[in-house]
Amino acid sequence: MGGTFDPIHHGHLVAASEVAHAFALDEVVFVPTGQPYQKSGVTPSEHRYLMTVIATAANPRFRVSRVDIDRDGPTYTIDTLRDLRREHPDADLFFISGADAIAQILTWKDAAELWNLAHFIAVSRPGHDLSVRGLPKGDVSLLEIPALAISSTDCRERVEHGSPVWYLVPDGVVQYISKHQLYRSTTS
Ligand SMILES: Nc1ncnc2c1ncn2[C@@H]1O[C@H](COP(=O)(O)OP(=O)(O)OP(=O)(O)O)[C@@H](O)[C@H]1O
Ligand SMILES: O=C(O)c1ccc[n+]([C@@H]2O[C@H](COP(=O)([O-])O)[C@@H](O)[C@H]2O)c1
């Protein structure tokens, strides 16, 4: 599952857990982006990586990969999947993403080649249509998951305004955000 995870929240974790169950996956690899070229003002990757490690540590089937944060330059899924294929030459690879991300996938770098590298699984997300119109049949699966209307943007804004993020993100992530004073406005 690729994501910026700024911060990781329970929407991500429920999506990963539901897909792992539905597709009988051996493990889910969370891959925090290094430089998500379509987003600005993103928190340094080591913070996002460590929050992802904290959030997934208790689940023996969850793992976090550094392939994207250790690669220089903008993060493209084509490179993520090639790196993961190199690490796991015999694995069946699935790429998990939300309905909002899957809607954009044809705009991603080398989109036509992505389908040869993994099977794509799009999960439902409140506020976004779950549809594979225009995407290659057979290469993308859709999965309805319990709706959690949580976004990283909302979590960041809550912290900035002094509102709680308890139960939106795992407890360890609440504590990590507080310890490192992430998402505080620099002007206040
Ligand atoms: N609540 C959710 N339910 C289902 N999928 C989600 C949810 N939140 C995020 N996702 C999916 O998880 C992947 C990684 O998401 P990302 O790290 O960008 O989180 P985000 O909450 O969308 O962040 P931001 O608000 O900063 O854009 C994306 O494919 C996204 O669609
Ligand atoms: O490959 C691309 O061009 C591309 C463009 C936008 C997003 N992605 C990937 O989509 C995943 C979700 O991204 P984000 O920024 O919404 O968290 C993450 O793994 C990104 O690397 C990939």
Any domain includes 15: yes
Q: What is the pLDDT of residue 188?
A: 40
Distance from residue 105's CA to the centre of ligand 1 (Å): 14
Whether the full predicted model's pTM is greater than 0.90, yes or no, is yes
Whether 6 and 152 have beta carbons less than 8 Å apart is answered as: yes
Q: What is the pLDDT of residue 137?
A: 79
Q: Copy the structure tokens of residue 7.
A: 């911060």
Tokens of 118: 């993994």
- pLDDT at residue 57, as a whole number: 98
Instruction: Specify whether the CB–CB gap between 154 and 128 falls below 8 A.
Output: no
188, HSE (Cβ side, Cα atoms, 13 Å): 8
Residue 151 belongs to what H/E stretch? none
- Establish if 188 belongs to a structural domain: no
Residue 138 inside a domain? The answer is yes
Compute the distance from residue 151 Cα to the ligand 1 centre, in Å. 6
Omega of the bond leading into 7 within 30 degrees of 0 (cis): yes
Helix then strand then coil, % of the chain, to nearest 5 = 35, 15, 50
Q: 132 to each of 73, 77, 114, how far by Cα in Å?
A: 29, 18, 15
Biggest CA–CA distance in the chain, Å, is 52
Domain assignment present for 129: yes
The ligand whose atoms approach the alpha carbon of 78 most closely is 2
Q: How many residues does the chain have?
A: 188
Asked, for residue 83, whether it belongs to a domain, the answer is: yes
Eight-state DSSP code of residue 30: E
Question: ipTM for the complex?
Answer: 0.98
The contacts of residue 88 (CB under 8 Å, 6+ apart) are: none
What is the CA(20)–ligand 2 centre distance, in A? Answer: 20
What pLDDT tens digit does each residue of the chain (188 aa) get?
A: 999 999 999 999 999 999 999 999 999 999 999 999 999 999 999 999 999 999 999 999 999 999 999 999 999 999 999 999 999 999 999 999 998 898 899 999 999 999 999 999 999 999 988 887 788 878 899 999 999 999 999 999 999 999 999 999 999 999 999 999 999 976 44
**Number of domains forming the structure of the chain:** 1
Answer whether residue 173 is part of any domain. Answer: no
Q: Does the beta carbon of 3 sit less than 6 angstroms from any atom of ligand 2?
A: yes
The reply to whether 169 falls in a domain is no
162 domain-assigned: no
Sign, CA torsion 182/147/26/93: negative
Q: Could you tell which of 4, 40, 129, 142 is best to mutate to test the pocket of ligand 1, judged by most ligand atoms within 8 Å of the CB?
A: 4
CATH number at residue 137: 3.40.50.620
What residue numbers bound the domain in which 87 lies? 2-148
